Structure 1
């Protein structure tokens, strides 16, 4: 009798294991790895040469099935603009990483001077912004948004062309002015 239960268990386990195997295949990512060069940008999963873009999309929402959006901006590109207005993201956490140079980063009402190697985690719903504080600053700031948002990527493309959108359709929510830089 015990052998019979054992054999029945094995026979019933085979379809379950097979279904689990196919279920895993359906969720596997089909995206291929890619290299993005320093003079390229990757909006909507398409790799293009950069022109005079102020913002560079490094990892598109299309690349990560909306799991993440990653971009970079240089202090040089912020020289005339200062930085984005004080804002918050309702649906995304953001990480800012200073890969070179210095930036001012505002979180809530507090403004920090962040240098190369410094990182900031900004939970969704937190007021924040950043700015270039120094003339001729060769710095670069990396921003990572998780999860990614396709509308945010469209807004990133607008910023890349040299304009902050007058109104954001979805996210972020503007809550104040940019950091004032002398």
Structure 2
């Protein structure tokens, strides 16, 4: 018999390497997204694995109510959080607090993999469900971002 943390989250949740919790395939054009920890409530955490096959990343934005944590698994990533710049490699992590503008991009060669966690989940799972349907990076439409608890602030980081 398995006990639950709550009615929404099982006590044990195993997702195999390279797999999505729901067995789905989600794409952002230059990368794939696998949900690792997802929940029907907006108050729990949401964690995804983002695998990059080409350089690039999302547009500059901020989250109204979510802290966003990044953990580099493979490759090299460039970040800007507020006015600070960081270059992260495997094993490095970074917290982008809510209300602070941030932007990031995969800048390495070959492949990049990163874990991204949102605390609390808010509407981030719904955002990724919506934008991955087009298999392209999220649109530069402020209303799409605002509807999911974010503010679109500028273009993605330029990468060479």
TM-score by length of 1: 0.71
For residues 57 and 39 of structure 1, what CA distance do their matches in structure 2 show? Answer: 10
| Mapping for residues 80-95 of structure 1, pairs under 5 Å | 82-95=56-69
| Pairing partner for 2:37 from 41, 59, 84 | 59
Match for residue 154 of structure 2 among 169, 173, 176: 176
Deviations 1:61-82 (A, max 9, x none): 32x7631110111121xx16x1
Residue in 1 that maps onto 2:16: 37
User: Which has the larger share of strand?
Assistant: 2
- Number of residue pairs matched by the alignment: 146
Structure 1 unpaired stretches of 5+: 1-26
Structure 2: gaps spanning 5 or more residues? none
**Structure 2 length-normalised TM:** 0.79
- For the 8 Å contact 1:55–1:159, the answer to whether it is kept is no
Query: Highest Rg: 1 or 2?
Result: 1
- Give distance in 1, aligned partners of 2:128 and 2:27: 14
- Pick 1 or 2: higher relative contact order, CA cutoff 8 A, min separation 6: 2
Root-mean-square deviation (Å): 2.3
Which has more helix, going by share of residues? 1
